[in-house]
Structure formats: structure tokens, C-alpha cells
Structure 1
Amino acid sequence: MNFDEHTWQESAWRRIRHTLFCEETGLVYDYVTSRDHSRRFAHLPSPEEIALGFPNPCGWSTGMEDCALNGGFLLDLLRFRREEDSDFARLAAEGLIRCAEVHGTPGFVARGISPRDGRSCYGNSSRDQFTLATYGMWRFLSGGGVIPERLRQRGVTFLRSVADYCERIVTPANACNLMRLDGRPAIVSTMWNCAPHEALRLPMIYGIAASVTGEPRYYELMRRYAAAGLRETLTMNPEADWWDMPVIQMQLSLNFFAESGIAPELESGVRRAMHTAAAIACPRLLALLREAEEFDGDWGMLYDNWRQLPMKVTPVTLAPDGGSALFGGKSYLNPVFRDEYARPNALLRGIGNYLATIAHSDDFPFPETLLERTARLLRRIDFSRCAGVGILPLLYGYTAVTYHKFQLQGEEA
């Protein structure tokens, strides 16, 4: 089976828009478990399970762990598709806004919202959800689309509330942690004094709030962290054991500073770091392409109901003596996906994230042969059957590469 360029892209887009997206919540969920449209989200946690933090307070592997993150990718993808002023873009923006309001703690970006009651959400968010949700909303508001004034103001309020939450909560007293909704420390939520690829997340959030509100205090907060964050970012080791999600989020955090011009004194270092990120991505993209070209499984295999899978303890929650596996009074059991569907989804996600990382570095040469090789692979896949959300970053990355390619061609002409 071989699809043409337009057909595979529109097939992937329809799968995102009509299968993984939920109209009732305005969110993109992580996977489906049925080809029956009305049953595709039957596996999602019940409000009772969510209230108990089962199987873990992050909702990992349940299908609603990354809705806010997905929404950030989606809003920027809509910009690349020149659909940022569509009704669908407004639905997606409202979904993200809802993630920071529904629980009554303004600015806390919940990972997702249960479609069953339209309000239940897990209490442990993450640095990644905050990063991509704010970046995507900034793109939505600054993309040039015609946005209803009420929605624009709600988007600005969303970004202001996230920055205010971080100012209030991400403090030395809380070990610079985003904390859970119950006020206890959260996993994967340290926003400062963290790894190089994470060091610009907090200053980006403050910078975005400054750029959309013009309020001096957000500029001051950004300046408090930005220069030090960039210095830390520049200490990254390109030979480290990278994977795709940290690389793309680092690149997008850098890209905010590059495109907004909000801190011109950092531009040289930002561009250098973006080039390094692209250099990290390129060989890893090649490795994933090789693996994907050799993959002989089913790209469209449905996911299992997570409740029927084995679960493992999250290592960071295990006490040094092995006598407890609770963190902040909660257990973090993580359902273990089967490789038959997890691996193809990870391949598509990784290829997309590495493509996007390279696309955002203007001075990194992207070989035409590499784009052609990627296109050949993707024309073989029937995206109308894909069950996982890896197709969203995949389409985002591929669209970003072609968008930037045509932009550069226009400048050269």
C-alpha cells in the first residue's frame, strides 16, 4: 500500500481531529481501544479512579496523561496548517484553558479532563504539560488568526494564571516544584535547579506572560531566570542518552526566545543552543528511520485496556531500603504497554519530534534526501487505523519542516 503526500497527511489529520480529539472536552487523548467510535474512549479512567489517584496520580498510561501537552502541539500545528482562526482551533484553545480552571486552582495545568463528567483530573501534572500548553497558547494568540475577543482574553488570562501559579508555588520552600493539587510534592515537576534541557521552561513561562500582557513584573520574573537558564542549557552534552520529548521541548523553549525577541541580549546563545539541539536530533532521527523502515508489525494495532495490564512501581517512589513505594502518601503504579502497539507509536512520535527540532533551527542544514526518505516511509502507513497519539507530533514535525522549507525558499526568491 502506498499513499500520496496529500493523502497520508490528511488521513493522519482526520485521525487526530475525529478520533483522538474529544469535542466535549476540547482535548486530544493519548490512544483509543476500539474502532467503534462511540467506544473509543471506554478505557479512560472513571471519576472515582481519578479521585483515588489510581493507578497513579499522573494518570500515566491511562489515555489521559498528556492532553495538555498534546493541545500545545495541536495549536502550533494549526498555525502551520494556516487554520489558527478555525472553529476547531478555538475548541482546542478552550480545552487547554479548561485544564487550568476546572479544578479550582487557577494556573495549575492539569494533564487532562475526564470526558465522563467534564471535570475530573489527576492531581500530579508535570513540567512537560506546563511547557507545551503555554507554548501552544502563545502560538495561538500570536499567530495572526482572527480570534474572538472573549476567547483572546481567556487565553491571556490562562497564560497569566500559569505564570502567577509558578511565581507562587515554584519557590525554594517547595524545592522549585509545581506540587500536586493536594499540596504535596509532585513527580516530574521540578522547574528550577534542574537538567540543562529543562532550564528554560520556567523563564519561558514568565516570558510568554510578559509578551502577551506587557506587565513589567513578568519581565522581571523572566529576567530573574532567563540568563542563568540559558547558561545551564548551553552545558548540555550532545553525546548524552537523549530521547525525543526532552529535545523538542528544549527547542521550543529556545524558539520562544528566538522568535519573540523578548531578550535580545540572549539571542546569540539561544541560536547556538538551537543549533546544538538540531545536531542532537539529526542522528537520532536517522536511527529511528532505520528502525521504522524495518518494522514489520501493525502500525494500527489497538491499545489494551490499561486495567488488564501488569503494573510496575515507579522507581523514584521506592524507599532506599525498599520498605515503601509511596510518594507523598500515594502509590505510583504504571501499567506496562505491550511493544506491539507502544513501539510503533513511539517511532512515529520520535520521528516527528526530531523533525520539528531540526526545523526550528534556521541555520541547521536539513538534507533534502532525509526529507524524501521520511516521506517514503510515511506514504506506506495507513494512518486511518493508527490508535496512538504519536501521529500528532509526527504530523507536527513533518509540517514544520515543509513549512520552514517553503519559507526559506520564498526568502531566497
Structure 2
Amino acid sequence: MIEVMHQDVWKRFVYKPQYLLLDYAGLDGAVILPEPAECADNKPNALSWGTPIEDGPFFTGLYLDGMVRRWKRTKSEEDRQKAGHLAQGLLRCASVGKTPGFVARWVLDDQVSHYSVGSDDQTGPWFYGLWKYVKSGAATPEEKKRIVGKMKEVAQALRARKWDLPSDPQGDFPPEETRGWANWSPISYRSATRLLFTMRIMQELTDDKSWGELYSAALQETSKTGRTRLQVVEDGMAGEWRELPQLSKTHLYICVVSQLMVKDLAEMETNPEIKASYLQSLAATAEAAWPTLPGERVASFTDYPFLLDWRTMNDMWRPQKNAQEAVKLAGQQLHALGNRGKYLEIDHIREPICAAWLSMLHPAGLHPRVQNLPKLIEQVSWKTVHSSFAFMAESAWYLLQETPPVILSPSKTSSAAPAESRTSANVTSRKFDENAKRGTDLHRFIAVPPELKNSTIYTVSRGSSKQPGRGFTVIAEKDSTAWLLVMRKGDYEPEPSWELTELIIRWTSGTDTFSDRVFQRKVKAGEKIVVPEAPGMDDSGNYAIPHALVIEEK
């Protein structure tokens, strides 16, 4: 299956002659690319969000790591050349802008046209992928010299800007415009890992001793809270979730490169105390990903069509004078597009893969459910997947082959998801007690009925109130009783197999109190429990929050 995936990735998703990874394509490989004039006007938006070319360096940098690992296994000249092609694609992205330090998200067929706004999620993997390539031995001496020269050029430009990642003037964008949070100076997990990694590899790749001095100083620089950058890294990605809780639901993929960077930082570190902090970071991030690890079965991801024609977003286009305006416009466009098919592939394929990828780097060993990654790879019919997530599965699989098969004991993994294996990656599960939440941290249960207490509750995040609450699936591991919690809004009734009980559960959202009706039915071991969308709507047009599922633990 790995070879089938590999061939499909190179046939459908590695776009030539740029040799950059697409976000998505048709099942026949067809792809709708922007025109140069659209790039010049920043249509549909200056970030290219929603188009197939929004993550060129992000995905290509990660896949270059995967191709290097593949080449080390096969020693094939074809694989070495493929890795070299990806490296050249990355170099092109850092060679088309007018602004020093700019890494474009993509370059069109004219080898010039690109969108204005890059990001930390593009620049970080750009450095990481090229680093892995030049250190692998796959690059020729001439390639290595050229690549290291470009890495040095970009790193020095960012250093001169105090690690502010620039945009590039296009359309109404002024010179030197920066996308708000695209800066590696703030002391947060993602920014800190990428800053420290870039400083450290430049110390390795150049004769400039000042990089080592910068690295040592950056480790101990303190935030407004008094914590050092190293301490923030030690917390792992969960520390950033406290600031941005939405990242914990469907954004594991943006932390993969940070985890990989920390792994390399740990391997390069000679100070035992600093190395211990990096190892703790690897463990913390891996454990934060455990609840999203693949289950035994992959849920359906084809219930809704995948929308390939992004140009409908152009109807909402307006000029953007800065990155903040671009982000606002892009968010509105994506909401209006409502590409549910894409979101299903994210929930059921991308996020479980990335959870396994993150978890493989736990210093103590593998969570047992990491072993479900090969099952996911076998179960998915990859030629029916529109997104390019097969490159993630392929890259993670190569890493798994290099990882010692040390399986953590149940006592070490008790904080992970309970025995009922969920199959939707957007699901959060935990013991149903007074600390449980109804979907998000904002929705707190007032009381838990004795009949349900200490069972397991499964919930998903709220999402937009202008769309039905999202559905999900869970596989029951044993014969048990399941309860469905349905918000009182509109006249929605679940299918007849769910029997209404006399139980009522109340919860709060801010200062308001709401209630759920509780339905019940028996489930069999191995049964796929489909929790449907929540279509209940009030007079204002707002939908109910997603249903919650409770399964007894007896």
C-alpha cells in the first residue's frame, strides 16, 4: 500500500515543474490553479487560502523529510532525484519575492507569480526540509552549497528583521507588510521551536559563531510571565492550546514540524539539562496528541462532496491593504464556501495521521494506538481522497519504521482516550464527571445524573453557529448502554432507535443556562455509533451545538 500511495502522491499532488505539493486535486489529478492576474490582485485572498496552492513549502518541506527517509531505505537513485526536485521547489519559493526573507506559498507556471502573504507554517518547514536534505548525504556538493547559501540568506534576512516574517508587495499590499502573528520572537511553543531550530542549524551549517551565541541567549530569554523560552518549549504544544484552544481540535498538523524540530534539537544538544527539557517537550506533545490517535476503523469521509472550484470565493473578493484584512476576508470566504467534504478528510484522515506522527517521537516509547497507523493506511482507498494527506501518511510510515517498537504500558497511557475507540478525529473523550465540558471549555455541565456519572462522554467543538452542529462516529468496544445528549433547540428528533428518557442535563454558556434531552439505546461490541448532525435551529437562525454521546463504563 505504501508504494500505491507513493505513486499516487507523485502522480496527483507533486506539481511539476515546480515540484511543490498541492493541498488537493481531483480524483483524476485535475487541478484549478490561479492565473497570474489573480495572484497580482490577491484573488481570492492574499493568503491563497482555499486554493490548492496555499501550503507549498509547508507540505513540501515535510515531504522532503519523508523522501529523505525513503531514500535512506531504498538507496534508489530515482528516490534521491525526487528528493532533489523537492529541494529545488523549496528554493524557488524563496527566490521570487522582492522582500528579503520572504518565502512564497507557491510559484505559478511562469516561475514568477505568487501571492503576497507567507506564514510561519510555510517558513518553518522550508528550513526543516532543506536541513534534512543537506544533512542526509543525498545532496551533491553543488546542491548543498546552493541550498546552504539560500538558507543563510533567508535566515540572515529574518534575523535583521528581528524574526518578523515578511509579506511581499502585490496588488494593494505595501512593501514590508507583515502578517500580525507571523513572528518568531514571541515566546510561544510554535514560535520558540522554530526560532531555536533555525538558530541552531545555522550554527551547524555556517562558520558564523554568532548563531550559537544567539541560540544560547534565546533559550533563556523570558516572557512577560517570567518563563524562559526553553520552559515554554518544555510544556509542548498543549501549552499553546491554553492560548488558542481551537488548535487542539483540528490543527495538530501545524505542530508536526515543531515536534520534528525539537527531536533534532535534542539530538544536537550537548548540555544535559537543556537536552532533558527537549525530551520532556517531546513527551508532552506526544501525550497531548494521544486522544486523537487512529482507532481500529476509519470513519466515512465521503458523505459530502469535496468542492474543487475555489473560484466561487472570488465573488466575495475585495482589495486587501494588509495581512489582517486578508485574514478577515479569507475567513469569510471559507465560511461561505462550506467545503464539508474537505473537513471530513481533515477530521478522519489528516488529524489521526498527525497524531500518530507526533506520538512516535515520545522518548519512552509508542502508545499502543500508534500501531493503528498502518491499519488506517490499509483501510483508506487513497485514490478516493482529494486532499494530499497521503504524503503525511507515507512520511509518518517511514518514521515509524525507524522507531524502536517499544510499546508503553497501560499505566503509562491511562490519560489517553478510553477503551471505546472513536473514529472521528474531531472527537474529545473523557470521564463524565463534574469536570466534563459540553463541547468546549465555555460549556460547563451544572450536574451529572448518577446514571451517567463516570461513564465516558464524547464531544466535538462547537464550530459555526450558522451551520448544523457537526456529527461524528464512535465504535463501541463492548456491549453497553449509550446516551445521546440533544440540545433543546428547534423540533429535531433523533432516529427511532434512540428512546427518550426522563433525564435532563443542564449546562452553561457564559451567563446563560441551556438543557439537553437525553436519549438512550443499547449498543453491541464493534457497533459503529453514528452521532448525526444537530440541525435544530432557533428563530435567529442559529443552530444547536453538536450532540454529545455518553457510553457506560461498566
Match of residue 164 from structure 2: 177
Q: RMSD in angstroms over aligned alpha carbons?
A: 2.9
Structure 1: gaps (5+ residues): 1-7, 315-323, 409-413
1:313/1:272 CA distance change after superposition, 3 Å: farther
Per the TM alignment, residue 157 of structure 1 is displaced from its structure 2 partner at its CA by: 1.1
CA distance in 1, matches of 2:217, 2:384: 47
Structure with bigger gyration radius? 2
Per the TM alignment, residue 342 of structure 1 is displaced from its structure 2 partner at its CA by: 3.1
For normalisation by structure 2, the TM-score amounts to 0.62
Q: Does 1:281 align with 2:289?
A: yes
Cα deviation digits, residues 73-112 of structure 1 (max 9, x gap): 1111012212586111111111111111122445322111
**Residues 8-407 of structure 1 mapped to structure 2, 5 A cutoff:** 8-33=1-26, 35=28, 37=29, 40-41=30-31, 43-82=32-71, 86-115=80-109, 117-145=110-138, 147-169=139-161, 171=162, 177-181=164-168, 182-227=175-220, 228-235=228-235, 237=238, 240=242, 241=245, 242=248, 243-261=251-269, 265-286=273-294, 289=295, 293-295=298-300, 297=302, 303-309=307-313, 327=322, 330-332=325-327, 333-334=329-330, 335-336=333-334, 337-367=338-368, 370-405=369-404
Structure that is richer in helix per residue: 1
Q: Which amino acid aligns with 1:276?
A: A
Structure 2: gaps (5+ residues): 169-174, 221-227, 408-554
Asked if structure 1 preserves the Cα contact closer than 8 Å seen for 2:67 and 2:83, the reply is yes
CA distance in 1, matches of 2:324, 2:373: 46
Per the TM alignment, residue 278 of structure 1 is displaced from its structure 2 partner at its CA by: 0.7
Q: What percentage of aligned pairs have identical amino acids?
A: 20
Asked if structure 2 preserves the Cα contact closer than 8 Å seen for 1:200 and 1:226, the reply is no
| Higher relative contact order structure (alpha carbons within 8 Å, sequence separation ≥ 6) | 1
Q: How many residues get paired?
A: 375
1:153/1:104 CA distance change after superposition, 3 Å: farther
Cα deviation digits, residues 233-276 of structure 1 (max 9, x gap): 23454674323024323312211211223665510100011111
Asked if structure 1 preserves the Cα contact closer than 8 Å seen for 2:301 and 2:345, the reply is no
3-state SS in 1 of match to 2:403: helix
Per the TM alignment, residue 162 of structure 1 is displaced from its structure 2 partner at its CA by: 2.1
Cα deviation digits, residues 43-94 of structure 1 (max 9, x gap): 1111111111222211111111111011111111012212586111111111
CA distance in 2, matches of 1:220, 1:50: 40
Structure that is richer in strand per residue: 2
1:98/1:265 CA distance change after superposition, 3 Å: farther
1:325/1:102 CA distance change after superposition, 3 Å: closer
Cα deviation digits, residues 100-146 of structure 1 (max 9, x gap): 1122445322111112x12111121111111111111111111133x
Asked if structure 1 preserves the Cα contact closer than 8 Å seen for 2:68 and 2:136, the reply is yes
